Amino acid sequence: MGISLPTRVPPPRAVARWLLRRLKARRTAKTLPGWERWLGSSSLAAALDQSDFDAVISAFRAANPFPALAMPAAVAAAIEPRSRSEILARADMAMRREVNFLGSGIYTLSTPVDWCLDFKSGTRWAMRASHRLPVNDPGNPSDIKIIWELSRLQWLLPVGQAYVLEQDESRAEFARIIIEEWLASNPVCAGPNWMCAMDVALRAISMIWLAQACKDSASWRDTGFQERLIKSLVLHARFIDGNLEYADINGNHLTADLAGLTVLGIALGGRGIAAKWIEKSWRLLCDEFPMQVPDDGVCREGSLPYHRLVGELFLLPALARRNVGLPVGSDYVARLRKMGRFTEAATQPDGEVAVWGDADDGRGLPLGTQGMNDHRYLAELMNALDSGPAHPEHDETLWWVGIGNRDRDRDQNHASAAFPNAGAYILRGDAAHVFVDAGPVGMAGRGGHGHNDCLSFSACMDCEQLIVDPGCYVYTSDYDARNRFRATGAHNTPCVDGAEINRFNPKLLWRLANDANPEIRHWSTSTDVDILVAAHSGYARLASPVTPVRGFMLERSTRRLFVADGFEGTGEHDVRIPYTFAPGCDVEGEAAGVWKLTRNGKKFGFIISAPEAWAATPVEAEYSPSYGVKQSVRGLVLSCSGTLCPVAVAIMPESALPPDPVRWLSGVVDGRFPVPGFKR
């Protein structure tokens, strides 16, 4: 692409920490294989400050980091029939060795499992020193996430859940068999499954959860198996401790490392070396939490799916500590609740969140049967921190915290909301939901999991998703697709002269230049009308600079949404404004400036204020509802070449359409927005 980006120079402290991390990681890679050979029952007891290995096993069985597994019978009794059937179906699928994740389709694993095979591309990764394997390689069509996801063992969790529900020994035995296969095939620091500390941590959490779920079964009481498992968990913790994923801007990888280290330390009895892991990881988590989640409660990754992941990762160690009597500060709990409030606000009337930024299906401990983009359980969990609901609305809540003692859930707040640090603004009515990204690029200007989506939005009207974010699709397996899905042109925001609002090097998949600095010019909300006006500086670098200014207005009483685009600048420019419609939404032109949208039998008008200046072209657009999956949907591109010209659109139920809608729209928006071209 030949793009020249400003050089970001990390502060000296960050450089020093990175060098120290590399040195520590190399030392860990050299020493851990020796630990693997040396560790036995007596040395494990000594390292964990226990009198003998029987005491190690007793401590491991007793030290439960998961509140719900302290009451398995109550959880089993409370599971609703539909959730129970889904869990058992997922367990049966796993026991047939069938997996389906990250867009793979159903695939039957070998016996024993080939843990180094990316079965989606057919590529087998080498079993050599992990730190020498390349993660990012444009010439390699393999997606390392397939291998990592397989070894996270989260696909095996329904088997443990089924054991809790049925007490069927075959379930517990199968879970043990799979873990034995993993232990036998993955020596420490060798192969792709010891490359990333985050994945090591998530795998350890899965193993520990399964151990607690199945601990009363005969299969999991074998002393030899328990020694192999506990030895591996100690190696997992040592690996994480030696490979903490510090960066110039820390993110979800470090949070996962620390969450795993807390859960491991607690599960291993909390004494000896395990006590040090608990103390260190918790101290660092408390330091990281306010940096990764500012005071508005929105994770700075610039992504709703990553907000969920980070929320789970900060919640898991807090619940684990509480379950064994360790303190969790009130400030920590308050920040978790703020995260839940954002999730609640970002939830559309259909129960799904508006996808924003990267979405790679990552979870800390997936135990619910809800859909991938249904995050409501997270808000319920955050509200259940002091006294869980006696009757959780979501089965995921039940599996995380068990049966509580609160008879009535807190009233949900369905008001519009602003989250100024993140630049996320949500305009809401009883049947309408508009999510606007008017914030900075993610990760404090680094980019990370954010996209070029400033001033983009998604909209749900009359309880129907109409305007959607295109999603993420994939990472390293297809560099072109990765860059296409995060580009400005894929989002529902103005694109000027084909330029990116934040420049990026197509080889650096998680870096964006910090060009598009947002400016909130107006925000107001009342009983009937919400108005947001925002701008950004992403096109200030053009030879003839342009500042896009976008206004949103939601009228609840009329069920109408208005979006007005104006531009500050001079000269001639090519401007494109894409609109991506939800799957199943049909788009039909009726007259100049008037389009009809139909979804699930409901009809809506899509009105354009200046059809004489703005061409409207129907297109096929790409949409990715989850990682590795994409589909074709309908889109509409507004385009104008020449002198900068404002344009507004209105979306409303067909029943709310006025006569002569184009002329009507021009009259409505004039004077209602402090947007160039619409001021009287």
Q: Which helix (H) or strand (E) element contains residue 208?
A: helix 197-213
Going by pLDDT thresholds of 50, 70 and 90, the confidence category of residue 15 is: confident
Q: To 10 degrees, what angle do helices 197-213 and 157-166 make?
A: 10
**pTM exceeds cut of 0.85:** yes
pLDDT for 141: 86
In CATH terms, are 20-401 and 417-669 the same topology? no
Q: pLDDT tens-digit profile of 635-659?
A: 999 999 999 999 999 999 999 999 9
Q: Looking at the predicted structure, is the pLDDT value of residue 16 above 70?
A: yes
Q: Report the pLDDT averaged over residues 366-378.
A: 97
Q: Looking at the predicted structure, is the pLDDT value of residue 7 above 60?
A: no
- Work out the percent of the chain whose per-residue pLDDT is above 90: 88
Name the H helices within 324-438.
330-345, 376-383, 395-401
pLDDT for 1: 39
pLDDT for 680: 59
CATH class of domain segment(s) 20-401: mainly alpha
Is residue 624 within 8 Å of 680, Cβ to Cβ? no
Look at 678 and 542; give whichever has higher pLDDT. 542
pLDDT for 666: 87
Q: Determine which of 407-416, 622-631, 635-644 has the lowest per-residue pLDDT on average.
A: 407-416
For the chain, the domains span 20-401, 417-669
SS (H, E, C) 123-188: EECCCCEHHHCCCCCCCCCCCHHHHHHHHHCHHHHHHHHHHHHHCCHHHHHHHHHHHHHHHHHCCC
Phi, psi of 425 (to 5 degrees): -125, 135
Distance from chain centroid for Cα 290? 18
Q: Report the pLDDT averaged over residues 555-582.
A: 97
Going by pLDDT thresholds of 50, 70 and 90, the confidence category of residue 2 is: very low
Q: What is the mean pLDDT of the chain?
A: 94
pLDDT for 444: 85
Look at 414 and 643; give whichever has higher pLDDT. 643
Is 417-669 assigned to CATH 2.40.360.20?
no
pLDDT for 664: 94
Q: Looking at the predicted structure, is the pLDDT value of residue 391 above 80?
A: yes
In 3-state terms, the chain is what percent helix, strand and coil (to 5)?
A: 40, 20, 40
- Work out the percent of the chain whose per-residue pLDDT is above 70: 97
Q: Report the pLDDT averaged over residues 169-197.
A: 98
Going by pLDDT thresholds of 50, 70 and 90, the confidence category of residue 412 is: low
Q: Can you tell me the distance from the alpha carbon of 327 to that of 310, in angstroms, rounded to the nearest whole number?
A: 21
Q: pLDDT tens-digit profile of 73-126?
A: 999 999 999 999 999 999 999 999 999 999 999 999 999 999 999 999 999 999
Is residue 538 within 8 Å of 498, Cβ to Cβ? no
Going by pLDDT thresholds of 50, 70 and 90, the confidence category of residue 355 is: confident
Q: pLDDT tens-digit profile of 129-182?
A: 998 898 888 888 899 999 999 999 999 999 999 999 999 999 999 999 999 999
Q: Report the pLDDT averaged over residues 196-215.
A: 98
Q: Looking at the predicted structure, is the pLDDT value of residue 610 above 60?
A: yes
Q: pLDDT tens-digit profile of 272-309?
A: 999 999 999 999 999 999 999 999 999 999 999 999 99
